Chains A and B, each alone.
Chain A
């Protein structure tokens, strides 16, 4: 499953996305919310 996931990730074009680096606090807050 992980191998399939990694192949899928290679094909996803992330250049179209925004490119912001959220702070560690923001990321942990989202993990905590989940």
Chain B
């Protein structure tokens, strides 16, 4: 595959990320802080794509066997990006409707987030399949790595630009930002997709493993089973901050929408640096287990300092603590992934990679839901608005 084709595949990944960042970096804060919607409910809506992720195997198998107009992936990717961008564009309206008229708003929000979640999974599994179709076996890792780098860079850039656009927050500006990101997502999708897949191409299709098959393969080995439980706990603890980070910054430090949106860039940038540092340098000097321990300790320290920053009301501590959390996450991700690959035989690598995906999705879902619930319960128990910031600090420490 040529480098240009690889870049165009990366644009598909970027198209989905551009529609995603405003939801996980802006709308979560607006819904919880500005609109006063329960964090548990917001978390429940934002994790919809993760809840639907087991359907990726079925979607992939269906598109393997049901090409449309001679194209095995293009129609599914196009439909996925349209649903993803369209659903994401409608989410702020649903949130504002929820604040104004709760039950009809909630119904609309569930529908809109479902559209977004279905589109996300449809697009992701289809363009990853296209990446496999277009790459030779030896090229596939490089192809996906280039796509991932483009995606994480776009997350950082989108967070910075969305934050700038929302310097002075208003519902009108919010909807404008979402419409713009939706339009950009569609344009990038068109540039990436048109003409990328050859018509009536003959491809060798890999076996797709369901989530249940992947988990069965892992729990068959006692040591791998223990590792899987550890992995779920670790990922849920680290990734559970996703929904609460921005509302915490708003409530504890009165940070503007611009400032809290750019926290995503801080976290993502630190994760990227750590990933490169671990992969290129630290892995030469440190065992994987030591690296996983270091990543976990750094992430714990980051979470503790985030909590502490709320207690002592220090914004100067808050932002570096987020960078530390991101850095620990990057180290933990690469080392734990390497450990997981060590547990399997070369024949079962596909199943174990599937298990990593299951652990990642389940942990994000579980972690965010738990964080939202703890935040709401602590706020309820402490009972006053002034105690709310403290409750969030307690939540971080948990």
Contacts and interface: CB of A to CB of B under 8 A. Distances in A.
Chain B contact-residue range equals 35 or more
Contacts of A14: 288-289, 339, 342
Interface string B220-240: 000100110110011011100
Among A21, A29, A33, chain B packs the most CB atoms within 10 A around the CB of A33
Interface in B329-344: 333-334, 337-339, 341-344
Interface string A1-34: 1111110111111101111111111111111111
A34 B144 CA distance: 11
Q: Which of A16, A17, A20, A22 has the most CB of B within 10 A?
A: A17
Given A22-B341, A25-B141, A6 B148 contact: no
A13 B148 contact: no
A5 to B, nearest CB: 4
B248 to A, nearest CB: 17
Contact of A4 (B13, B233, B299): B233
Interface in B123-152: 128, 140-145, 147-149, 151
Contact of B148 (A3, A12, A28): A28
Contacts of A25: 141-142, 145
A24 B148 CA distance: 12
Contact of A32 (B144, B234, B283): B144
B158 interface: no
Contact of A27 (B142, B230, B334): B334
B300 interface: yes
Given A16-B223, A29-B140, A2 B303 contact: yes
B275 interface: yes
A6 B226 contact: no
Given A17-B339, A25-B142, A9 B223 contact: no
B237 A34 contact: no
Contact of A2 (B143, B148, B300): B300
Interface stretch (B30-38, B64-72, B196-204, B290-298): B290-298
A10 B149 CA distance: 32
Contacts of A4: 233
B259 interface: no
A6 B280 contact: no
Nearest to A9: B230
A10 B145 CA distance: 31
B383 interface: no
B342 A29 contact: no
B342 A5 contact: no
Contacts of B338: 21-22, 27
Interface stretch (B105-113, B260-268, B353-361, B385-393): B353-361
Given A32-B151, A34-B356, 17 more contacts: A2-B237, A2-B299, A2-B300, A6-B297, A6-B300, A12-B230, A13-B223, A14-B289, A17-B223, A17-B343, A21-B283, A22-B338, A24-B145, A28-B149, A29-B141, A29-B148, A32-B128
16 contacts: A2-B299, A5-B230, A5-B233, A8-B230, A9-B289, A9-B293, A11-B226, A12-B289, A14-B288, A17-B223, A19-B342, A24-B279, A27-B279, A28-B149, A33-B128, A34-B361
Interface of A: 1-6, 8-14, 16-34
